[in-house]
Chain A
Amino acid sequence: MATRSKLSGTAALEDIEGVGPQAFLASIVECSDDAIYGKTLDGAILSWNRGAERIYGYSAAEMVGRPVSVLVPPNKPDEVPAILERVKRGERVSHFETTRVRKDGEVIDLSLNVSPIRDASGQIIGASTTARDITEQKKMREALAERAKEILDVSTPVLQVWEGVVVAPFIGTLDTQRAQQFMERLLDKIVQTNSAVALLDVTGVPAIDTRTAQHLIETITSVRLLGAQAILTGVRPAIAQTLAHLGINLADVVTRSSLAAGLRVALDILNLKIITQEDQAKGAHSL
């Protein structure tokens, strides 16, 4: 006969042959990959599952009765008391990322969830902690950040395409960080190559918002202050439309729809002309 158990959601467990609801739940805790342990409100360990043994390296026999502070690295003396204070107030601590020290001395990264344990009358009698080993996760996060930084470095190249002309192709969107880096790179290259013209190509920019447009204008202004001429190239109809809608006036800026057209302007500024070898052989006079 199925009777409603005091533990919520365990009515169905009554039906399982040979296993009481308590034992069933206990085995769930034991089988978990996460460290699950209970402690008193003073931080003394009451229970220690197999996951905890694996993650921390201490056996249950070694840990039960000992203070949880043995796991805490020496540079965080106030962490456990702070957590227990919150638990005593009935609060839960969720996804708290921190470090702990294993039995072999290795420092590991963990995400902790700590909740109050209440008795039948609702009184808080202890704290239950679930700790997930996030060392791998953290490594991946850091690798991802590294990769993002690499992309940032690689995707803002400034190339000298001729003596006196540099080309800076924008790829993708321009956030503030990229814009700053881009500007610095461009200006340094202009000085380094003693260039008179900088072609800023936005063919590779899919969408342009107010902020990106602002960064572009700033870049063009800085180039001018330095003493070179900036030409905006690759302005496609979609971008021209957006800029017009944003009310941005590019009247002060020389623009061209393609990089090739921009190059033509650059050569003109430098008083250069490209002629075929035939023309040269025929002895064509240069202007």
Chain B
Amino acid sequence: MTNQNISLVKVRNTLLVTMPADPDDVTVTTLQEEVLGAMEEYRPKGLVLDISAVETLDSFFARTITETSRMVTMMGGQTVIAGMRPSVAITATQLGLTMVGTFTALTVDRALDLLTHPHPRRRIR
């Protein structure tokens, strides 16, 4: 079993979470727990989930992301998924894992911009 580390950092009143390349189910579940714990501790205005290293996205991961995003919203924050790879985006679309309601950004940089200066037009439908 490879050592799967989720990196969790507080940046500019935002939680920056970086996912490893091939997260297994345990890692994905840990993600949700750690995020909720950090939300409680820091009360950030948002969560940036960096998945730029992720090569495969299965339905469990997608579902957990959507759930976590909802939980963050309920706790008064906003979630942005950053850095999805083209191949992952295509597969996710074809599998119908569209994660409706979540914000997305091309890079972590953009995601932080989005959270600090929300532009009404930027709302991705």
| Interface of A toward B, CB cutoff 8 Å | 180, 183-184, 187-188, 190-191, 194-196, 218, 221-229, 252-254, 268-269, 271
Contact = CB atoms under 8 A, between A and B. Distances in A.
Chain A interface mostly:
helix
A190 B104 contact: no
B26 to A, nearest CB: 25
A256 B93 CA distance: 23
B90 A183 contact: yes
Contacts of A194: 106-107
A226 B121 contact: no
Interface in B74-104: 81-90, 92-94, 98-99, 104
13 contacts: A190-B86, A194-B107, A196-B110, A218-B93, A222-B92, A225-B88, A225-B98, A226-B104, A227-B83, A227-B106, A227-B111, A269-B121, A271-B119
Contact of B106 (A196, A254, A268, A271): A196
Closest 9 CB pairs of A and B: A187-B86, A227-B106, A227-B105, A227-B104, A225-B89, A222-B89, A222-B93, A221-B93, A269-B121
A194 B85 CA distance: 13
Contacts of A227: 81-84, 104-107, 110-111, 124
Contacts of B89: 187, 222-223, 225-226
Contacts, number: 69
Nearest to A194: B106
Contacts of A254: 125
A252 B124 CA distance: 9
A229 B98 CA distance: 14
A269 B125 CA distance: 14
Nearest to A229: B124
A247 to B, nearest CB: 18
Contact of B124 (A183, A224, A271): A224
Contacts of A268: 121
Contacts of B87: 184
B92 to A, nearest CB: 6
